[in-house]
Structure 1
């Protein structure tokens, strides 16, 4: 145990030890209900940082989880390298150069391991990032499957994210069987959708 603490709290491993402790405290606070883990906090940051995370394959899961995995992987790499080699490196400038090399290696290793670990986790969080169906389905093409569509009745089928949907639809412009239309607005009270003929939608027309 003495060796464990000596390595864990010596440079360079102490850098990851501190970061990992911060991550653990964050999760404890979140689990206690004093804070919220933002499922949409995946990579909701603009600019180069977001692009870098996507390049590294770290997108698709909450950012706090990505950082926790990164800190853990970096800590394990740094700890075991320093445990095996730390005592062999003489003190002084050479030891500082060794420590910086371990720190860099652990960071790179942590990024690689994290990018691998998050891949199977993405499907678990995918639904958290999807906006409600009412928003996603706007603008989706559909095909009339009832004999006709009017302002009071009608049905159509659409495909969204691989799912086959059969929807109640309404239209100000009469539509007949197998005609194509575009879903433009949800009608909450009727659990139906306003549609417009596809040709009208593409030409820039709309229906209220």
Structure 2
């Protein structure tokens, strides 16, 4: 037990011990009903974060689950690496450099391990959560929060059932900051949404 605690709470493993502890506390709070797990995965990721998740193969499941698995794998890799090789590295600057290297390797390896684990889980979350969300969000108004919205990039905010969402959006008609638009179609491979200017959407409905 002394060896376990010594390794778990010493650099570099302590970094992941703290992160994993935060994740465990989050799940405990969720289990007793004081919190709410984001069942819609990474749909509310802003900026280029959702694109990074897709690139790393970490999309399609709730973000808290992804982070928990990342922290768990990184902790395991860091713990056993330090347990086996830590005693061979002298204290001082060399030990800190060794610790930074272990953290980097653990993070890279944990991304790979997590992407493999969540791959078979994606269909479960897609069937359980994504279709209802897609149906409810179509026709919802949003406000552009990025500098502009084009066919290649853009971001907007929307309210759905009282929940604030930050979404990646695309538009054939360029939109400016704070301009209002309406979500009309989901783009699955980009985790984004096609939008049209609100005035154009309303005019189309009026004409119909």
Q: If the TM-score is normalised by the length of the shorter chain, which range does it land in?
A: 0.5 to 0.7
CA distance in 2, matches of 1:12, 1:77: 11
Structure 2 equivalent of residue 151 of structure 1: none
Change in CA separation of 1:81 and 1:75 when aligned onto 2, cut-off 3 Å: same
**Which runs of 5 or more residues in structure 2 are unaligned?**
140-203
Change in CA separation of 1:94 and 1:133 when aligned onto 2, cut-off 3 Å: closer
Computed over aligned residues only, the root mean square deviation of the Cα atoms, in angstroms, reads 2.4
1:55-204, aligned counterparts within 5 Å?
55-127=55-127, 128-131=129-132
Secondary structure in 1 aligned to 2:132?
coil
**Which runs of 5 or more residues in structure 1 are unaligned?**
139-203
Change in CA separation of 1:136 and 1:34 when aligned onto 2, cut-off 3 Å: closer
Change in CA separation of 1:91 and 1:51 when aligned onto 2, cut-off 3 Å: same
Secondary structure in 2 aligned to 1:5?
helix
Structure 1 equivalent of residue 36 of structure 2: 36
Answer yes or no: is the 8 Å Cα contact 1:16–1:71 preserved in 2. yes
Following superposition, the deviation at residue 205 of structure 1 comes to: 10
- Asked which structure has the greater CA Rg, the reply is 1
Following superposition, the deviation at residue 135 of structure 1 comes to: 5.6
Change in CA separation of 1:16 and 1:97 when aligned onto 2, cut-off 3 Å: same
Change in CA separation of 1:133 and 1:20 when aligned onto 2, cut-off 3 Å: closer
Secondary structure in 2 aligned to 1:120?
helix
TM-score by length of 2: 0.63
Answer yes or no: is the 8 Å Cα contact 1:16–1:74 preserved in 2. yes
Deviations 1:58-108 (A, max 9, x none): 000000000000000000000000000000101111111101100100011
Structure 1 consecutive aligned stretches of length 4 or more whose deviation exceeds 4 Å? 132-138, 204-208
Change in CA separation of 1:137 and 1:92 when aligned onto 2, cut-off 3 Å: closer
TM-score by length of 1: 0.63
